[in-house]
Amino acid sequence: MTTLYFLDAAEFTDVSAVAAAQPGARVQRLQGYVAVTSDGPLVIDRRVTGVRHSVWYSALAAVGHGHVVQYDKDALKVEPD
């Protein structure tokens, strides 16, 4: 079970929202973070988020029980450990 954490700040809202919209994803607001949890891989398409590059590349605050396999101009993909 992988959890992605995003800082609960205006500039990252669109990124965490796309993550939370994944099938099977669960979202919680936790002490200043938005936590998106899934039993499977989580994939976020950067273009769907609409955020600029400077925000995109600093959006991911933490990764619990998973590892980043792609983080580039196209997508962020995290797979469970």
Residues contacting residue 52 through CB under 8 Å, at least 6 positions apart: none
Residue 24 Cβ vs other proteins, minimum distance, rounded to whole Å = 19
The nearer residue to other proteins, 26 or 65, going by C-beta atoms, is 65
Encoding tokens for residue 76? Answer: 């962020």
- Are the C-beta atoms of 49 and 15 separated by less than 8 Å? yes
- Looking at residues 10 to 69 of the shown chain, list those that interact with other proteins (rule: CB under 8 A): 10-11, 13-14, 30-33, 35, 48-52, 54-55, 58, 60-65, 67-68
Task: Please give the Cα distance from 50 to 38 (Å, whole number).
Answer: 22
Residue 36 Cβ vs other proteins, minimum distance, rounded to whole Å = 12
- Are the C-beta atoms of 55 and 15 separated by less than 8 Å? yes
Task: Please give the Cα distance from 27 to 4 (Å, whole number).
Answer: 10
Residue 10 Cβ vs other proteins, minimum distance, rounded to whole Å = 4
* Binding residues for other proteins, total number by CB under 8 A: 30
Q: Residues in the site for other proteins, rule: CB under 8 A?
A: 3, 5, 7-11, 13-14, 30-33, 35, 48-52, 54-55, 58, 60-65, 67-68
